[in-house]
Amino acid sequence: MNKQIRYEIFSRLREANPHPTTELVFDGPFQLLIAVLLSAQTTDVAVNKVTAVLFDLAPNPQAMLALGEEKVRDTIKTIGLYKTKAAHVIATCDAILNHFGGQVPQTREALETLPGVGRKTANVVLNTAFGQPTMAVDTHIFRVGNRTGIAKGKNVREVEDQLVKHIPKEFMVDAHHWLILHGRYTCKALKPQCATCLIEDLCDYKAKAL
């Protein structure tokens, strides 16, 4: 795919949704970090249900530590992997308070030292909380990148590297959200909505459902 086509794709996505954001509900970098940590293999809707209660009880790392692992576990028990996630939440709060002065760190290296925080979570926090031009590739972005030809790759890291390399700078901060939303609502895994897709004429996908 050439530069002009990529530019046109992101121009259209921007025109359709000038201010995209995550569907997770949070207030500030700490709550975003915890929400993303809880979202592994779970829908944003399910995460928002438990964080509505959790962040009321514990809006910051101090309060979360004071709440304790058992209570966190109890509060998030409707989501997958809740026991491991509760342990990670508490250990992450402990690390933030004891190693990072109570603030969520703003570098990938530091973020990835936090329990339960991998490359994808770090990329989301850097991008959404701190406006850095990173790209967290999830299942939706992986599919959209490969189908459209915006970024082809055999694994998420290859797609991430292609996206970071090829997305024009002016779109980079918001590209993550545009691609996720496009994958979630239009370029769906089983039934892509090609007939109504706003980038259909620019997309490489051979099996378009028109």
Per the annotation, binding residues for [4Fe-4S] cluster are 187, 194, 197, 203
Nearer to ligand SF4, 129 or 159 (CB): 159
Q: What is the 3-state secondary structure (H, E, C) of 158-186?
A: HHHHHHHHHCCHHHHHHHHHHHHHHHHHC
206 is catalytic: no
User: Do the beta carbons of residue 132 and residue 149 sit within 8 Å?
Assistant: no
Binding site as annotated, residues: 187, 194, 197, 203
User: Could you list the residues that contact ligand SF4 (CB under 6 A)?
Assistant: 147-148, 186-187, 192-194, 197, 199-200, 203, 205, 208
Q: What is the DSSP letter of 137?
A: -
Given 49, 94, 138, 152, the catalytic residue: 138
Q: Identify which of 208, 207, 203 has the alpha carbon closest to the alpha carbon of residue 1.
A: 203
CB of 9 to ligand SF4, least distance (A): 9
138 is catalytic: yes
Nearer to ligand SF4, 159 or 203 (CB): 203
Nearer to ligand SF4, 11 or 42 (CB): 11
CB of 36 to ligand SF4, least distance (A): 25
User: Do the beta carbons of residue 168 and residue 7 sit within 8 Å?
Assistant: yes
CB of 92 to ligand SF4, least distance (A): 36
Contacts (Cβ under 8 Å, ≥6 apart) of 168? 3, 6, 7, 10
User: Do the beta carbons of residue 67 and residue 56 sit within 8 Å?
Assistant: no
The catalytic residues are 120, 138
